Amino acid sequence: MKVFLPAALRIVLLVLLVAFIVYPGWFEPLFKPLTENNAPAIYNQGSLLSLTLQHLGTVAVATIAAIVVAISLAILVTRPFGAEFLPLSRSLVNIGQTFPPVAVLALAVPAVGFGEKPTLIALFLYGLLPIFENALTGLTTLPANVVEAARGAGMTNRQKLLRVELPLSLPVILAGIRLSVVISLATATIGSTVAAKTLGEVIIAGLISNNLAFVVQGGLIVAGLAVFIYDGLMALERVAARRMGQTVS
Amino acid sequence: MIEIENITKRYDKQTVVNDVSMVVEPRTIAAIVGTSGSGKTTLLRMINRLVEPTSGTIKLDGVDNHSLPDYELRRSIGYAIQGHGLFPHRTVAQNIATVPLLLGWDRERIDERVDELLKLFQLDPADFGPRYPHELSGGQQQRVGVARALAAKPNVLLMDEPFGALDPIIRTKAQEDLLAIQKHFGTTIILVTHDMEEAVHLGHKIAVMDGGKLVQYARPAEILAKPASSFVETLVGSSERPFRLLSLGRVGDAVEKGSAEGEAIPADASQRDALAELLWTGKPALPVKDTDGKALGRVTVDGLVKLAARPA
């Protein structure tokens, strides 16, 4: 029962979410009370499915770029030759985080124009910090005798990194990616203010036409996606950690 | 054979290992004993170049250990450390296969070797091979740590306090296992420990280090009988000396003619154990039998007490 209930709940919610994205018309009666003056209850200026896919695509591209850059940076500054760059890279990544995404959008638009690009830049900068910080924590808190054993066994620095250090830091790095993805999912909605195709369009359309039903729809889909992706990555983390006899709270 | 010649290691102005020279004969165990900060671990780590010496050379079977890249050198030398240092994300079998894999052995040969080692350490390959280190007891983890160090059949095995984290009972068992395995493979072992008892029990020769210097390097009996300095004497522990001396000898060498009543003592038991048995049973003498159960004679308290006296 203990295992069954959460699993069943997840399946029901997932089915509801997918059904809503693919056949939003089925849910019209639910949203009708939120509209006024006979306004449409279901978003009618585009397909929710394609907006959802574009939203996820944008987040995926930005997150993968952030993962590659943040982990490379973390590896670099934890090697003996890169240790000098640790403070510099820390502050660079922190600056990325202190910039409000709206400000990044505003600055990026004149440089790269409207559309997908400024959103990708904002999401990328925003996603860096959690991944970098966690990768750094993971790589600097490895059990000393395990790393010593790797060296003693005759691994080259590269083998030590790939076969011992990275796999051992994997649960912590995954936690950073999870945070980053969830933040990006939410932040991507404001990309629609600069004409990126994301679920933000639905929310903004609702705000402009004073249609609460649109706002709720957009918000619900983004929230649902965030919950499921969070959940999935958490499960992945648990698997990675359990193999090593650790537990993830 | 390991030849250490005038090895010195300095960090800034602090000299950690100071002009140490010693030779470890092939197929023997050398125990390096000292307090913490005596430089014993640094000396050990310079053999497989986890630490680079400031000056001096170390030769393994006549070859300078700087004639190879450091990682290749380390693959040819077994290395076991305190708290085993097993890779927590790899199974027992994968852990043991670490060095053979780095050396590019083929799959079949690796599997064969892993099975052989697990059996040698009394771990069932089918049961323990696929387990993760955290699923083992402390003693089992330590055995896997030593098995991993021996996987690529190294001629030399370096051990840094390998039994430090074990409780006394498992520790004694692990020491016996090590002696058996050393005999089996003929490996040359250098073992760092702070425990003189362990050093006397395991070492063919004992190197005593103090403040970075090699104070005495001799056979256990000589260390016990003629400590080179008051430091060595303290380390030996004057109240333990006679018993440690007895622990070096076998009952078979203390047999006297005659017979005695009581349960027979095996000839390969240590004289110390025999004395303990005599004192405990309150008998002046006990019979001695060989491994086949044949009576050899008897061992007496008086005889053992004479053997425990300081050698002339």
pLDDT tens-digit series, residues B35-52: 888 999 999 999 999 999
pLDDT tens for B146-195 read 999 999 999 999 999 988 878 888 888 889 989 999 999 999 999 999 88
Of residues A245 and A74, more confidence is placed in A74
Residue A188 lies in domain:
47-243
A26-to-A18, A21, A199, A211, A215 alpha-carbon distances in Å: 12, 10, 19, 19, 18
Q: For residue A158, name the pLDDT band (cuts at 50, 70, 90).
A: very high
Put simply, whether B72 touches A (Cβ < 8 Å) is: yes
Query: What pLDDT score does B312 carry?
Result: 67
pLDDT for res A131: 93
What is the reported pLDDT for A247?
A: 60
Could B75 and A149 be called an inter-chain contact, meaning their C-beta atoms sit closer than 8 Å?
A: no
Across the interface, do A153 and B102 touch by the CB < 8 Å criterion?
Answer: yes
| Whether A235 contacts chain B with CB within 8 A | no
Residue-wise burial string across B135-148, b where 16 or more C-beta atoms lie within 10 A, e elsewhere: ebeebbbbbbbbbb
A17 in a domain, yes or no?
Answer: no
Sorting pLDDT into bands at 50, 70 and 90, what band is B269? confident
pLDDT of residue B147: 93
Residues from chain B contacting residue A156 (CB–CB below 8 Å):
71
Position A68 scores a pLDDT of 96
User: In 10 A of CB A209, how many CB atoms?
Assistant: 13
The answer to whether the CB of B295 falls within 8 A of the CB of B269 is: no
Are residues B223 and B252 in contact, defined by beta-carbon separation less than 8 angstroms? no
Q: How confident is the model at residue B11 (pLDDT cuts 50, 70, 90)?
A: very high
Q: What is the pLDDT of residue A209?
A: 86
Portion 37-96 of A in contact with B at CB < 8 A: none
Q: Is a pLDDT exceeding 70 seen at residue A1?
A: no
For an interface test with B, the pick among A142, A151, A162 (most B C-beta atoms closer than 10 Å) comes out as: A151
- Find the closest chain B residue to A147 by CA distance: B85
Find the residue in B nearest to A242 (Cα). Answer: B89
Set of chain B residues whose Cβ sits within 8 Å of the Cβ of A167: 89
Q: Are B58 and A121 in contact (CB under 8 A)?
A: no
When pLDDT is averaged across residues B291-297 and rounded to a whole number, the result is 83
Q: A168 in contact with B at a CB cutoff of 8 Å?
A: yes
Q: Residue A200 domain-assigned?
A: yes
More confident position, A242 or A238: A238
Facing residue for B98 by CB, picked from A153, A156, A245: A153
In this predicted structure, the answer to whether residue A192 has a pLDDT above a threshold of 80 is: yes
User: Can you give the pLDDT at residue A2?
Assistant: 65
Instruction: Answer whether residue A216 is part of any domain.
Output: yes
Average pLDDT estimate for A163-181: 93
- Mutation for A interface: B51, B71, B82, most A CBs within 10 A: B71
Answer yes or no: is A20 within a domain.
Answer: no
B74 interfaces chain A, CB cutoff of 8 Å:
yes
Rounded mean pLDDT, B287-295: 84
Query: Contacts by B125-129 with C-beta closer than 8 Å and gap 24+?
Result: B125/B93, B128/B92, B129/B91, B129/B92, B129/B93
Q: Is the ipTM of this complex over 0.85?
A: no
Q: Which residue of A244, A246, A247 to mutate against B (max B Cβ within 10 Å)?
A: A244
Q: Do B50 and A155 touch (CB under 8 A)?
A: no
Among the partner-chain residues B74, B89, B135, the one whose CB lies closest to the CB of A154 is B74
In a domain, A166, yes or no: yes
Between residues A97 and B128, the one the model is more confident about? B128
pLDDT band at A82 (very low <50, low <70, confident <90, very high): confident
Kindly state whether residue A28 falls inside one of the protein's structural domains: no
CB-count exposure of residue A127 (10 Å: 0-12, 13-18, 19+): buried
Tell me which residues of chain A, numbers 139 to 158, contact chain B at a CB-CB cutoff of 8 Å.
Answer: 143, 145-146, 148-156
State mean pLDDT over B295-304. 87
- CATH code at A202? 1.10.3720.10
Residues in CB range of B233: below 8 A, 6 or more apart: B227
Arithmetic mean of pLDDT, B270-279: 89
Give me the pLDDT at residue A226, please: 92
Mean of all residue pLDDT scores within chain B:
90
Q: Does B75 touch chain A (CB under 8 A)?
A: yes
- Position A89 scores a pLDDT of 83
Q: Is any Cβ of chain A less than 8 angstroms from the Cβ of B157?
A: no
Average pLDDT on A75-97 reads 84
Cross-chain CB nearest to B88 (options A151, A159, A244): A244
Residue in A151, A156, A164 nearest the CB of B87: A164
What does the block give as tokens for B1? 């054979």
- Which of B85, B102, B134 lies nearest to residue A155, judging by beta carbons? B102
The pLDDT tens digits of the residues spanning B134-144 come to 999 988 999 99
Residue A27 maps to a domain: no
Give how many domains chain A has, as a whole number.
1
In a domain, A11, yes or no: no
- CA B219 from chain centre, in angstroms, equals 14
pLDDT of res. B83: 78
Among A226-240, B71-85, B250-264, name the one with the lowest average pLDDT. Answer: B250-264
Tokens of B300: 């007496």
CB contact under 8 Å between B50 and A244, yes or no, is: no
Average pLDDT score over residue span A68-92: 88
Per-residue pLDDT, averaged over B249-266, amounts to 85
